[in-house]
Amino acid sequence: MPVLTIESLRKDYGRIQALKGVSFSVPKGCVFGILGPNGSGKTTLLGVISDILKPTAGSYKLFDEEPADHHRRQIGTFLETPNFYHYLSAVQNLTISAAIKQRGEDDIEKVLETVNLAQRKNSRFSTYSLGMKQRLAIASCLLGSPDVLVLDEPTNGLDPVGIAETRELIKKLAQQGKTIIMASHLLDEVEKVCTHVAILKKGELVTTGKVDEILANEDIVEVGAADLGRLQQAARQLHGYSSMKQSESILQFYYPLGTANLENVNRFFFEQNIVLNHLQLKKKSLESKFFELTN
């Protein structure tokens, strides 16, 4: 059963179309990344499924049913910069959050332990680093033990240490069985944390699926020879590559990551009486794959 199913979702702001008929589903138990450049519609999408914004058209389901209050109580949401009382401690701030939500007061000690803030639970919020403030916001989301967490740019503005801590926390929560839906414009963050991804560009869905399939790295083998036409003809008999492209005076063979073997390629062309004057192995970066998808 999918946690979230979106069907032809559209959101207009006057003439501006923030979402243009987006459709995808989020499987239970996954870490689902909504990836795209700034302005691609990520935050708008999270706002709609969190019932903060009303869609112009289309629909969505939570837990395979029409959204209702009891569904939303199973979702913890973090959409903005952490907003707590600076002069109060973590415990005091979470007590207020639990009172507003009308649930989760008995969870305060547990969630502080989960986000690794138990030792600083009585410290004022104003003394926290930005990373600690982000983790306290996630602790607030965990009050009431929701099945699903919705996080908008959870590592935004953090230093490398804060990013690493937040990533480990997300992985930890996923291991505990939480379904996590997170928006990010950082490709590296999605690749390291998420199991599934939907890529948006200017309000449109570019692609969706498992991260290791959508954002897969590839080996690129470049070959060149004096007679390019003969090289191309012989290349049709070469096995193992998924696609071939010509770039100026060389051919590029794309192999699944880790499967390219230069010695075998060289031997193949030598047996075809073709002497290579260029043979090089390159890695296709995640960045180039992302730009290929979004451009």
Local structure of residue 21 (DSSP, 8 states) = E
**One domain, residues 198 and 271:** no
**Tens-place pLDDT, residues 58-82:** 999 999 999 998 888 899 999 877 7
User: What CATH number is associated with residue 12?
Assistant: 3.40.50.300
The amino acid at 135:
R
Final residue in a domain of this structure, among 194, 214, 234: 214
- Compute the average pLDDT of residues 284-289: 62
**One domain, residues 174 and 203:** yes
**One domain, residues 199 and 68:** yes
Report the chain's C-alpha Rg in angstroms: 24
**One domain, residues 123 and 157:** yes
**One domain, residues 21 and 144:** yes
User: What CATH number is associated with residue 259?
Assistant: 3.30.70.100
**One domain, residues 177 and 247:** no
Query: What are the phi and psi torsion angles at 145 (to 5°)?
Result: 50, 60
How confident is residue 283, by pLDDT bands cut at 50, 70 and 90?
Answer: low
**One domain, residues 206 and 226:** no
Final residue in a domain of this structure, among 214, 235, 256: 214
**One domain, residues 194 and 281:** no
Domain with 95, as residue range(s), is 2-214
Cα–Cα separations (whole angstroms), residue 198 to 50, 97, 98, 136, 184 = 17, 31, 32, 27, 11
Rounded Cα distance, 203 and 169, in Å: 29
Query: What are the phi and psi torsion angles at 9 (to 5°)?
Result: -75, 130
Q: Is the pLDDT of residue 284 over 70?
A: no
Q: Which tokens hold the place of 163? A: 């990013």
**One domain, residues 69 and 132:** yes
Rounded Cα distance, 214 and 131, in Å: 30
What is the domain count for the chain?
A: 2
Neighbours of 173 (CB within 10 A): 21
**One domain, residues 197 and 284:** no
**Tens-place pLDDT, residues 77-117:** 998 777 899 999 999 999 999 999 999 999 999 999 999 99
Nearest one of 100, 99, 103 to 70, comparing CA atoms = 103
**One domain, residues 187 and 89:** yes
**One domain, residues 186 and 232:** no
Q: Is the pLDDT of residue 282 over 90?
A: no
First-to-last C-alpha distance (Å) of the chain? 33
- pTM for the full predicted model: 0.78
